[in-house]
Structure 1
Amino acid sequence: MASANSSVFLLITSIILISSTNAVNPPGNYTLPIASSTLCFAARFDLTFNIEYLKLDGKTNISRIPLNNETFQYYTGDCSKANSHQLTIGMLDNLTSITFYFDLNEKNQTSLKQVSVSLTIKNNDYFPNCSDNVGGSYVFLANESLFITDLSNSYRCYSKIKIDNFQSKSNVTIKSVDIENLRIQPFVDEKITFNDYAKEKVCTMDTFKSSTLIPIIVGACLAVLVVVVLAVYLVRRRRYRNGYQSV
């Protein structure tokens, strides 16, 4: 009996260790070169794939795949070109990768110019009951002009940004790549030690949220104040009436 219990314990321990080994936490910041104090690139963000594919029954399904410790595998990148940087993130047991291409133009403005997704679809937890016709590897491209800011600045956007102009291929479509909680700075000056992101340019959606939030807060405070004043008035009026009746 003791031997059987020991075997069960060892089996459970092995499963836990294997699961812990396969789980890789995404970094707080994607920095290039990796583990260097002098950087050429820095970014942090949340990312989610929304992929539509054909199922065995002929219907379509949308698989939502977030970038987290269950899907993240690695990241790498390249800053060797003076006017072009790239960041690549590998996911899903190295079956999927996404590469962001950043550009520095003649006006010394940086921006995201293109997104490339390499995707392998097979019948697994992420693409359950996928049709035999859609199994295989695909490459999707989307040309963009996002995160535009001056070279000396970083770019910040906590709001959700949808990259959704990928082309469809053989009953497979990337409906969108959603990015949020973004802070990014390509083309960092490698001559100095990187301590923090430079002065930020804030996206329009974040600015709009901030500008609309203040009136809402002020309005809510005024509403509470009116309720309090009215309550005090009613209480004092009731006390006055009670005092008058007792006389």
Structure 2
Amino acid sequence: MMKLSMARGSLLLLTWFAVLGCLQAVTLEVKERNSTCIKAELSASFSITYNTSSGLRTVQVPLPDRTTVDATSSSCGTVGSLQWLVATFGSGHTIGLSFSTNGSLYNVATLTLQYNLSDSSTFPEANSSAVVTVVSASVGIWGAINTTYHCVSPISVVVGGQTVTFSDMRLEAYMPGNDLSPKLICAADQVSTTTPTTTTRTPITQSPTPTPPGTPKRGVYSIRNSNGTVCLLAQMGLQLNFSYVSQSQNKTMQEIFNLTPNLTISSGSCDSRRATLVLTQDRTTTLNLIFSLNSTTNKYHLSGINMLANWSDMTAPFSASNTSLDYLRTTLGRSYMCDAEQTLAVVPSFSLNTFRLQLQPFGVTTNQFATAEECQMDQDQMLIPIIVGAALAGLVLIVLIAYLIGRKRSQAGYQTI
């Protein structure tokens, strides 16, 4: 029995090392006139589910080291347009990343995966020989201009039901030179634990909690899809609560920052299962809200929040991301409403406060909110005056009954004999 267990363990280790061996890092560059505008150094794998005669089958496809850049489809773009990195591998498979910028930040606007089911070595016994294309927005990969997005931790992105996983990624778009800039560590790496060292460092003191800036103004935001129809509506006040290291004061600052609607630019995208709202203020602060729809339960929720701040006093740009959230859950065909202040925890160093919120990222018709589902806090606040009123009414009733009983007894004591 012990020998069998050891044999199974050895087989598992061999399988694990075989998978790791397939994940080789590749370097991809997009150039224009010998000048590099996009450069990526990464490992990637794809988890793809497809139909066979015996049912669904899932395969793991690594990005091979022979992956090449498609020079025809890739582009450095022009002023105000997207940059594209498109790479081909295997027998007709493609992965594409489009990049957008607001002048101070860049981000992956869309991730496109194209796979060829006629490739029998990769997709054995596939029922179809079609070339399938799936696209996802709101990948959550972004950085400040002249910095490199660097993430050692695996990053998984769901694309049309399939999964793309990047690891040990170094990526930069809108590059000023041909070499990657000083790295920007991703949020997943920032929260990972490391073994303490005995290196002596200048202590960084923690600043006291700042005075809140007051309730933020309520902004009105909307997103249109490719045919010009409004697909997302939102009205809300937003407040960012995060900590960063101040360069001038050499200490950790706790910042409470209100988004100002008339200084905020909104953008985003919608599809049948995912919608995004990107809010950028002064080209230095960007907030990305990701909404997901479960077509089985007909419920949608806020599934991801990404935030990036690049302020002049920061020792490094602040980045926070969490794509495993479950906030603001609502039924499809309804809007979500919450007048009360809510605190949405994202990562230990960042939370988002919402005020007077109403939103609808799916099923918008006639450019108006559907009937609202109120949050629990609003319902509880409505119950408080009802309970207080009922208690006062009960107290009045008790006093009245006591008065009537006392009055009746008083009258009975003075009857004529």
- TM-score band, normalised by the shorter chain? 0.5 to 0.7
Matched, 1:185 2:333: no
Query: Match for 2:258 among 63, 66, 74?
Result: 66
Contact 1:32 1:41 in 2 (8 A): yes
Give the structure 1 partner of residue 332 of structure 2. Answer: 151
Q: Highest relative contact order (Cα 8 Å, sep 6+), 1 or 2? A: 1
Give the structure 2 partner of residue 40 of structure 1. Answer: 231
The 3-state SS of whatever aligns with 2:283 is: coil
RMSD value, Cα: 3.0
For residues 289 and 219 of structure 2, the distance between their equivalents in structure 1, rounded to whole angstroms, comes to 18
Query: Match for 2:221 among 20, 23, 30?
Result: 30
- Which structure dedicates a bigger proportion of its chain to strand? 2
What stretches of structure 1 of length at least 5 have no aligned partner? 1-25, 124-133, 168-172, 230-247
- Structure with higher Rg: it is 2
For residues 291 and 354 of structure 2, the distance between their equivalents in structure 1, rounded to whole angstroms, comes to 16
Query: Match for 2:275 among 66, 85, 89?
Result: 85
Give the structure 1 partner of residue 293 of structure 2. Answer: 104
Contact 1:39 1:188 in 2 (8 A): no
Give the structure 2 partner of residue 240 of structure 1. Answer: none
For residues 374 and 243 of structure 2, the distance between their equivalents in structure 1, rounded to whole angstroms, comes to 31
- Which structure dedicates a bigger proportion of its chain to helix? 1
- Give the superposition deviation at 1:58: 4.7
- For these two proteins, the number of residue pairs brought into alignment is 180
Give the structure 2 partner of residue 208 of structure 1. Answer: 380
Greater shift, 176-185 or 57-66, is seen at 57-66
Identity of paired residues, percent?
21
Code of the aligned partner of 1:212: I
Give the structure 2 partner of residue 141 of structure 1. Answer: 321
Code of the aligned partner of 2:300: T
Contact 1:100 1:112 in 2 (8 A): yes
Query: Match for 2:267 among 71, 76, 86?
Result: 76
Equivalent residue runs for 1:222-241 within 5 Å: none
What stretches of structure 2 of length at least 5 have no aligned partner? 1-216, 401-417
How does the TM-score come out when normalised to structure 1?
0.63
Code of the aligned partner of 1:184: L
For residues 62 and 220 of structure 1, the distance between their equivalents in structure 2, rounded to whole angstroms, comes to 44
